[in-house]
Amino acid sequence: MEDNQLHRGLSSRQVQMIALGGTIGVGLFMGASSTIKWAGPSAIFAYLIAGLFLFFIMRAMGELVYLFPTTGSFANYASDYIHPVAGYMTAWSNIFQWVVVGMSEVIAVGQYMQFWWPDLPTWIPGLIVIVTLAAANMISVKAFGEFEFWFAMIKVVTIILMIVAGFGLIFFGLGNGGHAIGFGNLTAHGGFFPNGWTGLFFALSLVVGAYQGVELIGITAGETKDPQKNITKAVNSIVWRILIFYIGAIFVIVTVYPWDELGNVGSPFVATFAKIGITIAAGLINFVVITAAMSGCNSGIFSSSRMVFTLSQEGKMPRTFAKVMKNGVPVYAVLAISIGIFVGVILNVILPMFIEGSSNIFVYVYSASILPGMVPWFMILISHIQFRKKHPELIENHPFKMPGAPFTNYLTIAFLVMVLIGMLINVDTRVSVIIGFIFLGVVAAYFFIRGYHKQESVK
């Protein structure tokens, strides 16, 4: 009934879109205003700075994946080159992050559906979404990849159209009576840095959160056709595409609209399309946001189920989750994650009925996933440093070297630490970081309590 081997069913186009789709999510369509609130027009710089360090993270992972293309790659690297507890924390951080993201995306779908059907209970669309995506993930990895390809394609096309429409407004006055808007809004409302460098500093934490998920292609490595060629191609192209889409969209938003009035605009995407005469803009963007949310949940089921599979193979979870069916899918791991996400959706509906103030619990849990979401990045950078120290002979003729290593590793680690310090200083994000640290502490303690450290040694 099973062969216990994952299948290499993901093509190059699917791998690239999976990475792109995992990063460009609801946060861009609905959350761009939050980043701009802190930084004003300088939010463009925030995305650019974070994108540069994202490039270094991806290249460090790419150098390792080229040599060792395995499922759950960066968790394995952390175990091999740092310590088994590092790999354990990385795997659980990834599971926690994507399950929580999956819950939030499914809850969001239910809320967005009320745009058309105001009286529809939010859990009904949530159930339909989870059943559909769980089925796609269980059929084959190729089916998951195809779903994610088209989800991502919808998002990418929408962003491109929005950028084109925005340029039409900025340069030609399309939808503005022929009067070009120009670049005045970039400096007319308190300047390019209206809240100073502090605003840019605080905005970085939101931007870093928006970029989380790009490392997903490291998890696909064990199920990708010709991984050396396709993963390296995806790593090289994905960062620039993300930068173009994010920076292009943010540039249009802060140029077309005064940054301090965005709170009155609603979704900048809806407003931009409506301004050039697309009367169905609200419904159109609502549809796009629903597909973006489904994409996030789809990625969540895939990513976290593969980490469960990896932990099970190592004997750190029940062996049942390591079983792979003939179609190459770890079906029990997929089923467990799907049920976990749906339980979260049900609790989100039920708890507020019985516990006063419980509606805020989920907000804290979701925001607490930001720190665990950064853990894979830290582990990739540190593993890469240790790998180079231990295996200099493998670097000599490596065709996909990390630029500037190890200096760029240390520089990127320092940047991520700076972002965490900023989140601790900022009262809006302090609690989420503290909860994230508590989660990581509990996971590490459990690793040693169960005696997993006695089962293996650092390779």
* pLDDT tens digits for range 290-318: 888 888 888 888 889 988 998 898 888 99
pTM above 0.75, yes or no: yes
CA distances from 96 to 79, 164, 184, 334, 452 (A): 18, 37, 43, 14, 20
Contacts of residues 118-122 at CB distance under 8 Å and 24 or more positions apart, as own/partner, are 121/349, 122/345, 122/349
- Does the domain at residues 12-454 carry the CATH identifier 3.40.1130.10? no
Q: Is 315 helix (H, G, I), strand (E, B) or coil?
A: coil
| Pair of tokens at residue 166 | 């925005």
Over residues 306-335, the mean pLDDT reads: 88
Query: Does the N-terminal peptide bond of residue 352 adopt cis geometry, omega within 30 degrees of 0?
Result: no
| Digit-coded pLDDT (tens) for 186-214 | 998 888 999 888 888 888 888 887 788 77
392 DSSP β-pair partners: none
Statement: residue 120 has pLDDT above 50:
yes
DSSP state of 257: S
